[in-house]
Amino acid sequence: MWNIVGHEWAVGLLAQSIAEGNVSHAYLFTGPAHIGKTTLALEFAAALNCIGSEVPCGDCLACRKIAVGTHPDVRLISGEGKAIGIEKVRQIQHEAILSPFEGRWRVHILSDFQDATPEAANCLLKTLEEPPKHEVLLLTVPEADLLLPTVVSRCQVVVLRRLPIAVIAETLQTRWKVHAADASLLARLSGGRLGWAIAAAGDSSILEKRKQYLDQLMKLLQVQGVHRWPYAKELCKTPGTLKGVLDLWSTWWRDMLLLKLECPAQVTNSDRRDDMMQAVKLFDPLEIRMALQSTRNAREQLERNANAQLALEVLFLDYPLLRNDHK
Ligand SMILES: [Zn+2]
């Protein structure tokens, strides 16, 4: 039994490739952060090496070792905040030519491979072009076009989509024992990413930070021009959080648009509805649309490794002014 919530299409495809003895040497899992790419890759690694009757059984020695990260043939490699370098890829290539120690397959999972150095990506091509017999490479990235086309074309691409909000709310309640009201809010805020919802349910600092970033947006909208730039500088002190902040602000602007269109039931940040109802009166629809588009553009630029402070400064100049005195 695959221990995966949702992603039925992807699970079906992977299970079928094992059942038919038609396993590819490389798969590329794509989808937004915290959607479950690495979780699915690990479950696939378990299915490939499981010695139980219904793979992955979750109970045999192989499954249990993979779950706790001690299986000698399954390795999860990430940059741990830094880019995956060529030395890690060379190490994989050394290991990949050896027969598996315990399992049927050697599996290397390279998460967030878009952050690998160009040398590392080029080096991996050699393994993709001439894959060793028992090796399966599993790469994860937010979007396939962040990788070299030569890398993507040698992988079977498995696209993971956001889960329905109702599925996440129900999973939080039944599996994680989260109260119904909290589960409903977290499911909305997760944007269909179960991993985010589970993390936020177990760590109150995630919601606390979200509150801080929304408050920060309110403050910066109340000043004009270069007075917004200190906010950009402040945000750039924690570069690892920037993409998440822009994703959050995108949901806020999208909510504003929904309120303008009088669709309050679809609002994501439902706990901030009263604040947003106040703010929405002060903007016209075009201002909101432009702010949403500019936020998405800045997010896209960060994904392409643009200069973060410059991208934020340009974004902040595009944001409309929230006139306090009209309140
Ligand atoms: Zn098993």
pLDDT tens profile 252-289: 999 999 999 999 888 999 899 888 999 999 999 999 99
Element (H, E) at 303: helix 285-303
Q: Could you tell me the distance, in angstroms and rounded to a whole number, from the CA of residue 43 to the centre of ligand 1?
A: 10
Q: Could you tell me the distance, in angstroms and rounded to a whole number, from the CA of residue 131 to the centre of ligand 1?
A: 25
Q: Could you tell me the distance, in angstroms and rounded to a whole number, from the CA of residue 49 to the centre of ligand 1?
A: 7
Q: Longest Cα pair distance anywhere in the chain, in angstroms?
A: 71
Residue 108: strand, helix, or coil: strand
- The 10s digit of each residue's pLDDT in 94-138 is 999 999 999 999 999 999 999 899 999 999 999 999 999 999 999
Q: Could you tell me the distance, in angstroms and rounded to a whole number, from the CA of residue 50 to the centre of ligand 1?
A: 4
Handedness of CA 125, 126, 130, 133 (dihedral sign): negative
Contact residues for 4 (Cβ-Cβ < 8 A; gap 6+):
11, 36, 39, 40, 43
Residue with tokens 């075009």: 286
Q: Give the pLDDT confidence score for residue 325 in this predicted structure.
A: 56
Q: Could you tell me the distance, in angstroms and rounded to a whole number, from the CA of residue 83 to the centre of ligand 1?
A: 32
Handedness of CA 32, 33, 36, 40 (dihedral sign): positive
Q: Could you tell me the distance, in angstroms and rounded to a whole number, from the CA of residue 150 to the centre of ligand 1?
A: 34
pLDDT band per the 50, 70, 90 thresholds, residue 324: low
**The pair of three-digit structure tokens given for residue 133, joined into one six-digit string:** 């017999």
- The full set of domain ranges for the chain reads 8-159, 163-202, 207-326
Average pLDDT, integer, range 210-230: 94
Q: Give the pLDDT confidence score for residue 25 in this predicted structure.
A: 96
CATH top-level class for 8-159? alpha beta
Helices (H) and strands (E) in the chain, counts: 15, 5
pLDDT reading at 327 higher than 70:
no
Q: How far apart are CA 133 and CA 170, in angstroms?
A: 42
Element (H, E) at 121: helix 118-129
Q: Could you tell me the distance, in angstroms and rounded to a whole number, from the CA of residue 73 to the centre of ligand 1?
A: 14
Average pLDDT, integer, range 142-163: 95
> What are the Cα distances from residue 318, in Å, to 3, 98, 176, 221, 226?
45, 55, 41, 10, 12
Helix, strand and coil in the chain, % to nearest 5? 60, 10, 30
Q: How far apart are CA 316 and CA 311, in angstroms?
A: 9
Q: Give the pLDDT confidence score for residue 66 in this predicted structure.
A: 97
Q: Residue 173 burial by CB count (10 A; 0-12/13-18/19+): exposed, middle or buried?
A: middle
pLDDT band per the 50, 70, 90 thresholds, residue 144: very high
pLDDT reading at 326 higher than 50:
no
- The 10s digit of each residue's pLDDT in 21-56 is 999 999 999 999 999 999 999 999 999 999 999 999
pLDDT reading at 57 higher than 90:
yes
Average pLDDT, integer, range 194-221: 95
Average pLDDT, integer, range 153-174: 97
Mean per-residue pLDDT over the chain, rounded: 94
Q: Could you tell me the distance, in angstroms and rounded to a whole number, from the CA of residue 100 to the centre of ligand 1?
A: 16
Q: Could you tell me the distance, in angstroms and rounded to a whole number, from the CA of residue 54 to the centre of ligand 1?
A: 8
Q: Could you tell me the distance, in angstroms and rounded to a whole number, from the CA of residue 68 to the centre of ligand 1?
A: 13
Q: How far apart are CA 3 and CA 15, in angstroms?
A: 12
The CATH number of 207-326 is 1.20.272.10
Q: Could you tell me the distance, in angstroms and rounded to a whole number, from the CA of residue 104 to the centre of ligand 1?
A: 12
168 touches 143 (CB < 8 A): no
Q: Could you tell me the distance, in angstroms and rounded to a whole number, from the CA of residue 199 to the centre of ligand 1?
A: 26
110 touches 137 (CB < 8 A): yes
Q: Could you tell me the distance, in angstroms and rounded to a whole number, from the CA of residue 65 to the centre of ligand 1?
A: 9
Residue with tokens 């990788």: 147
pLDDT reading at 81 higher than 80:
no
pLDDT reading at 303 higher than 90:
no
Q: Could you tell me the distance, in angstroms and rounded to a whole number, from the CA of residue 103 to the centre of ligand 1?
A: 11
pLDDT reading at 310 higher than 80:
yes
pTM of the model: 0.83
What percentage of the chain exceeds 90 in pLDDT?
Answer: 90
Q: Could you tell me the distance, in angstroms and rounded to a whole number, from the CA of residue 99 to the centre of ligand 1?
A: 20
Reference 34, options 190, 249, 227; nearest CA is 190
Q: How far apart are CA 92 and CA 82, in angstroms?
A: 17
